[in-house]
Chains A and B, each alone.
Chain A
Amino acid sequence: MGNDAHMPDTGVSVDFQEVQQTPRFRELRKRHRSFVFPMAVAFLLWYFAYVLLADYAVGFMSTKVWGNVNVGLILGLLQFVSTFGITAWYVSYSNRRLDPIAQEIRTEIEGHEHDMQTGAAARQGR
C-alpha cells in the first residue's frame, strides 16, 4: 500500500445510525459501559480514600502491623494489587464479553462494504 491517503470510507456505504440502533450493538455498548463506568468510579473512590487517609489520618496510617510495616504501606501496596487486579479483570472481561460481539459486527459491516467496493472496482474495470 504505502499511501496513507485512504481515509476510511466506511461513512459512504454504511449507515452507522442504523447499526447504532441494532440490538447487538446496543448490547455491546451496554456490556462495555456497565463494566468500565462502575469500575472507573470504584478505583477513583478507592484511590481518593487512600489519599485522604494519608493526608488526614496520619495516626491510623502509622499503626504498625508487622515489624516496621504499617497500615499506610499495606494500603499503598494494596493500590498496586487493585490496579493489577482490575487490569487483569478487564482483559478477561473484554476477551469473553466484548471482543466476540465487536468482531461479529465488524465482520458484518466490513464484509458488506467489501462487496460494495469490489462491485465498484469491477464497474470501473480495475
Chain B
Amino acid sequence: MVPMVNVSALKDTTLLNMGIFALFVLVTMVIVFRASRNNKTAADYYAAGRSFTGSQNGTAIAGDYLSAASFLGITGAIAINGYDGFLYSIGFLVAWLVALLLVAELLRNTGKFTMADVLSFRLRQRPVRIAAALSTLAVCFFYLLAQMAGAGSLISLLLGISDWGGQSLVIIVVGALMILYVLIGGMKGTTWVQIIKAVLLIAGAAVMTLWVLSIYGFNLSNLLGSAAEAANNPNVLNPGLQYGKSDTSKLDFMSLGLALVLGTAALPHVLMRFYTVPTAKEARKSVVWSIWLIGLFYLFTLVLGYGAAALVGADTIKSAPGGVNSAAPLLAFHLGGPLLLGFISAVAFATILAVVAGLTITAAASFAHDIYANVIAKGGADPATEVKVARRTVVVIGILAILGGIFANGQNVAFLVALAFAVAASANLPTIVYSLFWRRFTTRGAVWSMYGGLASAIILIAFSPVVSGAKTSMIPAANFAFFPLSNPGIVSIPLAFLLGYLGTVLDKRAEDPAKQAEMEVRSLTGVGAEKAVDH
C-alpha cells in the first residue's frame, strides 16, 4: 500500500522553491553585510575575530558538516538500502569524539588561522607548511568539486531544470553567490550563513521526523514494519543490503569506516572553525554542541529514510529525477505538499552554499597564510597584503569550483566526498596526533607521513574501480584498476602512520626541545593562545 507521489507535480513548485531560496539569499546577504562592517584584520577575516561563542560555533560546525550528501544522501541511502544507510551515518557521528578528545582544544591553543600553524609549530616551517597546505588544498578541492557537481543533479530534481545549459547557469549562480559571501563576509559572514542554514535544516528535519512518527503512532516498530512491507523485503531492516554483497564490498566498508572515523577531526575546514572562538574551553563547547546537533540530525535521518521507504516507496524514489537524492524532497512533498517541498529544497540549496563557502575560505586562508605569507614572502608579508591575497584566492577558487562543477555535472563523482575524508585521515591526522603527543616526532616524519598519505590515497583511488573498469566507473570504457576497493583508507591510513614513525626514527636531526616544551605547555594550558580581537 504505497500512496503515489506525482513526480511531475514537482515541476509546478519550481517558482515557489526559487522564491524561498531567494528569500534565504536575501536574508543571509543582509546579515553578511552587517557582519562584515567590522572586518579589519587578518584575524577578523580568517577567524571572525575569534568572537563567536561555543554554541554559535557548534551550530556553525553542524552547518558546515551536514552537507547535502548527509541530508539527501543518507536519507536516500536508508530509503533504498535500509540499514546500511544508517550504518554510514554512525561513522560520521562517532568521528567527532576524535575531535573532542584529541584535537579541538589543543589545536585552538597552539594555532592561529590554519591547520599548518599547528603542524609546523615545533618543526621546520617551510617543508611542513607546504605539505600541510597542499593536503589542505587537496581535501578542499575534492570536497568542493563533489558539492558543486551535486548542485547540478539537485537542480534537475528541485527546479525541474534538466538541460545541461540551464544546470550550468544555476551552478554559476551558486558559485557567484558563494564568492560574494566569502569575499564580503569573510569568516564572520560564512559562519552566519552556516548557523542560519543549520537551524533551518535541523528544524525542517525535526518537523518532518515528528510528522512521520505521528503517522505511525510514535511507534518505531510500526514504521520499520511498514517500510519493510512497502519494500517487499524484510532485509531492509538488516545490515548487508549495500555493503554485504561480496567480500570486497565488506572490506570496502571497513575501509570507508576507518576513513570516516579518523578523517572528520582532520578536515581542514572543520579545524579552522575552532579558531573562531575566544578560548579552548569554548572550542570544547563547540564540539559538544556539534555532537548533539549532528547526532540528533542523524537520528532524524533514520526516521526520514524509513519514512520515505514506507510512504513514498523505493521504486518511485529511484525513478524520480535525482534518484536516491530525491527521497527527502519527495517525502516532504508527500507530507506537506508544495510548501514543505519548497522549504526543504531551499534548505538543500542553502546547504550547498554554506558548505562551499566554508571550504573556499579554508582553501583561501591556507594559500594566503601558509603558502604566500610564510613561504613565498618568508613571513615578511604584512597582514593587509595577506588578506588581499586571500580575497583574490577566493575569486580564483570560486571560478575553478564553477568550472569544475560544470564539467563534473552528470559524472559519477560521489566518491569524491569519501576521498576527501580518506585524504584527511591519511595525510593530516597522523601528523596532528604525532606532533601533539609524540615528543620525538621530527620534520622528516611529518613530511613523509603527509606526502605518503596524500599520494597513496590519490594513487589508490586512481587505480580503483571508481575511476575505471566497472559499469559505475567515471571512465567505464577503460580498465586500469588494480586496487579492488573504492576506499583507500584501509591501506593509506596505516601507511601514513608508519611513514611518520619511520621518518622520525630514521631522522638524525632532532627538533628543538624548547619548541616541543612550548607546544606541549601551551596546548594543555592555553598560555599565550591567540586572544579574541576586541573592537
Contact = CB atoms under 8 A, between A and B. Distances in A.
Nearest to B280: A102
B228 interface: yes
A110 B526 CA distance: 10
Contacts of B87: 51, 54, 76
B166 interface: no
A31 B142 CA distance: 39
Interface string A48-65: 101110111010011000
Given A16-B521, A91-B284, A79 B221 contact: no
A64 B219 CA distance: 16
B239 A58 contact: yes
Contacts of A58: 238-240, 244
B221 A66 contact: yes
Interface of A: 1-5, 8-11, 14, 16-17, 19-20, 25, 28-29, 32-33, 35-36, 39-40, 43-44, 47-48, 50-52, 54-56, 58, 61-62, 66-70, 72-73, 76, 79-80, 83-84, 86-87, 90-91, 94, 99, 102, 105-106, 109-110
Contacts of A110: 527-528
B383 A102 contact: no
Contact of B253 (A25, A40, A55, A105): A55
Interface stretch (B39-47, B133-141, B332-340): B39-47
Given A87-B100, A105-B525, A99 B93 contact: no
Contact of A51 (B225, B257, B295): B257
A20 B102 contact: no
B257 A16 contact: no
Interface in B477-535: 513-514, 517-518, 520-522, 524-530, 533-535
Chain B facing A: main interface SS: helix
Contacts of B224: 67-69, 73
B220 interface: yes
Contact of B250 (A55, A80, A105): A55
Given A17-B517, A87-B288, A68 B237 contact: yes
Contacts of A69: 220-221, 224
29 contacts: A1-B533, A10-B518, A19-B517, A25-B525, A32-B524, A39-B97, A40-B101, A40-B102, A47-B90, A50-B90, A51-B254, A54-B87, A54-B239, A56-B250, A58-B238, A68-B228, A70-B238, A73-B83, A73-B237, A76-B90, A79-B94, A80-B93, A83-B94, A83-B295, A86-B97, A87-B100, A91-B288, A94-B284, A109-B525
